[in-house]
Copies of this chain bind each other. A is one copy, B any other.
Amino acid sequence: MTKPIRVTVWNEGRHEKKSPEVAKVYPRGIHGAIAEGLRKCPDLEVVKTATLDEDAEHGLPEEVLAKTDVLTWWGHMAHKDVSDAVVDRVQKHVLEGMGLIVLHSGHYSKPFRRLMGTGCGLKWREAAEQERLWVVRPGHPIVEGLGEYLELAHTEMYGEFFDVPQPDELIFISWFEGGDVFRSGCCWDRGKGKVFYFRPGHETFPIYYDAAVVRVLQNACRWAARPVGSPFSLAAPNVKVPLNPIPKKA
């Protein structure tokens, strides 16, 4: 039997503490809601939820990432409080194969910006707009079980230009009531690892309880899971190698 995919769910976790409105929507934290959705699948194991203020390493010490196949990341108001040492560690693990799923306002988090190399800015507006996320890659593992689009009734708008490298695979494009579009589901490879950015989610809209959003997160964990069995290492950045012996032919 295949081992379950080990997921660590990270959340900044400050909105929930500061705002009663957010705490009401997410009484177990945004991380709690995301973990709950993933735990419905026996092939996914949430090994840990972690938050910014858990400890000096934000709950992400080396030993946690070493046994994490996929890390999900939600942050918003405190990106700057994430320590550079933890960002270095997350980047290193992604390059060695750990999957990273970056959610909503995580577009401006330090790990995402580090891995993209661009500004990662965008337009935004809070007007509780209707959003439709259209599938533009219908055969992709991330959209298994979904229809042609996801519909969300009240969302914060994110608009183009989204300053990221052109995605290796573009999965969703959002339509917003107010006249904007957004590349809402984007995949990139970095080293041996996979990165998925998924737009939906806001601290005061109950997005992470939506069945289709939950399904996307489950699918994305499967897609992004650390490759099993590849012995290839990227540990040493620049390796001096001897002349490659061309084997003698029989």
Contacts and interface: CB of A to CB of B under 8 A. Distances in A.
A148 B159 CA distance: 11
Contacts of A120: 237
Interface residues of A, number: 84
Contacts of A166: 137, 168-170, 189
Contacts of A4: none
Given A154-B249, A166-B170, A191 B232 contact: no
B237 A108 contact: yes
A130 interface: yes
Given A119-B237, A190-B165, A160 B136 contact: yes
Contacts of A175: 175-176, 179-181
Interface in A131-190: 132, 134-141, 143-148, 151, 153-154, 159-163, 165-166, 168-170, 173-181, 183, 188-190
Interface of A: 91, 95, 97, 108, 114-125, 127-128, 130, 132, 134-141, 143-148, 151, 153-154, 159-163, 165-166, 168-170, 173-181, 183, 188-194, 227-232, 234, 236-244, 246-247, 249-250
21 contacts: A108-B238, A121-B234, A121-B238, A122-B238, A125-B243, A137-B189, A144-B230, A145-B231, A146-B230, A147-B231, A148-B161, A151-B247, A153-B247, A163-B191, A163-B237, A165-B168, A165-B190, A166-B168, A166-B170, A170-B170, A175-B175
